[in-house]
Amino acid sequence: MSAETESPTRLYQEAVRLAKEGQISAARSCLDSYLRLRPSYGPGWHLAGRLAMAEGDSRQAVRCFQRCLSLLDGPKEALADLAEVWLKLNRPDQAAGLLRRMRQEGVWRDSAVLETAGCFLRRHQPARAMDVFQIGRSASKDPLIYDAPIEQLKACRPKLAFFCGADGPTFLKPLLDYLRQRYPVRVFSGSRPEDVQALMNWSDISWFEWATNLAQIGTHLPKTCRIVVRLHRYEAYMPWPKQIHWPNVDVLVTVGNSYVIKALEEWEADIRKQVAIVRIPNGVDVDRIPFVRRERGKKIAFVANLRMVKNPMFLLQCMHQLHQIEPDYQLYMAGRMDDLLLKQYLDHQIRLLGLEGSVHFEGWQEDIFSWLADKHYLAVTSVIESQGMGALEAMAAGLKPVIYHFPGAEEIYDKNYLFTTPEEFCQQILSDEYEPYAYREFVERRYPISRTLRLVDELLTSFEQGRFEGQRQDVSTQPVSI
């Protein structure tokens, strides 16, 4: 070994020896000399960070650990050390940002989680503390150590009551699974106004999942809690908005496009002045949707209970046009058909248009993704949609979307997925452009369930922190959106 390489090596060995003997200042001086000669040696920067910590020089320790982690040979233990330094500097957000990477790199420390959560609690940020506890419970080899602090924190947080009614909890289920881990939660199971009042009296925040009968009852009762009403779509096109006492509502959550608000304004022209309005689209849990890498084919799916608003009449016109060009394409329709008038009309048109043998009514599907597995396109011809979850889920499965340009469709989907006329429908189907991965990526990017859950939690946290206290906010011009 040459003298040039021996000298830096001896410097580093001396720095290590001095550090072990507790001669911190001398070790730092020796190590500084070494790092001037070997500035890209990760373990050296890790040791420099620990020596800076030992002398209480936290800001220098941060710089050293960050430098260490930027180098290929930098020990990953520096992640945990960096989190510890951030906590000494009272910077829990930076410490929390390292937790998932600590888990990935195998340098997990439950102590870092508990200290980070404690720091958030001292800063009166219970929502952030709860997030940290949940990360800890999911990553720790001993998740039971988090049960007690999580339950203690939940007991101090706002009590949430959810009212679904006859429209059901379909869109609420992922929210409930998430929120039950963070708040005391009860779901309405009564039937009388007295039952509604009793649960509202218990709660700090009452969430009405649909702007229908239960929201009408709850908003006319004496106000004892914060009230959130979530409107999906159809409620805005019926008289329900006139029957809700909007001054008692703290926040109206919409999932749809701007035309839903325009419909509301037909019933209540000054709705924006009566209630704060935020937009939080439904999220898609892509991880639960099996992706099929499929090639172009000739099977077109239509997924919806057959109703006038879904406009299957127009779809038959599109199919007729397509069959003039290429008669091998087949249409498969999944969903209930409860409207006798519509059934008679569709049967009649299929005969007139010569589509017998090309249109298949396959009824309600319990396992929609298995049913979609051999399909290639998803057609949507609705005259209005709030968001169109069926289309988004089909895209996540890899089907090409072919979507009628209903009012507001461009706010939800890429314009390349839209059509206006039967001729444009045929162009979309017959186009060589077919990119299943791109359809799934669009959903992952625009509508991840994680973002929806975070936005809902932020809304509830705004009540917890008193940001809506004693004021009426019109936030409709700056909606919570993705």
CB 482 within 8 A of CB 458: no
- The pLDDT, as a whole number, for residue 465 is 80
> Is residue 141 in a domain?
no
- Please tell me whether residue 9 adopts helix, strand or coil conformation: helix
- The pLDDT, as a whole number, for residue 467 is 56
What is the full DSSP assignment across 60-77?
Answer: HHHHHHHHHHTSTT--TH
The total of other beta-carbon atoms located within 10 Å of residue 382's CB is 23
Q: Are residues 310 and 439 in the same domain?
A: yes
Q: Are residues 455 and 406 in the same domain?
A: no
CB 248 within 8 A of CB 227: yes
Locate all alpha helices (DSSP H) within 340-388, ordered by sequence: 340-352, 368-372
Q: Are residues 460 and 431 in the same domain?
A: no
Q: Are residues 296 and 417 in the same domain?
A: yes
Series of mean pLDDT values for 10-residue runs along the chain (482 residues): 60 91 92 92 95 94 96 95 95 95 93 95 92 94 94 94 85 93 94 94 96 95 95 90 94 89 90 92 94 95 94 97 96 94 96 96 95 97 91 97 96 95 97 96 96 94 71 34 26
pTM of the model: 0.83
Q: Are residues 204 and 111 in the same domain?
A: no
- Please tell me whether residue 226 adopts helix, strand or coil conformation: strand
Distances in Å between the Cα of 139 and the Cα atoms of 91, 142, 144 are: 22, 9, 11
Final residue before a domain boundary, out of 123, 145, 175: 123
> Is residue 130 in a domain?
no
- The pLDDT, as a whole number, for residue 190 is 84
CA distance 151 to 128: 15
Q: Are residues 227 and 83 in the same domain?
A: no
CATH code, domain with 23: 1.25.40.10
Q: Are residues 294 and 419 in the same domain?
A: yes
Strands (E), 330-457: 330-334, 359-361, 377-380, 400-404, 418-419
- The pLDDT, as a whole number, for residue 4 is 44
Distance in Å from the first CA to the final CA of the chain: 59
- The pLDDT, as a whole number, for residue 388 is 87
Final residue before a domain boundary, out of 123, 148, 180: 123
Task: State the residue range of the domain holding 178.
Answer: 157-283+450-464
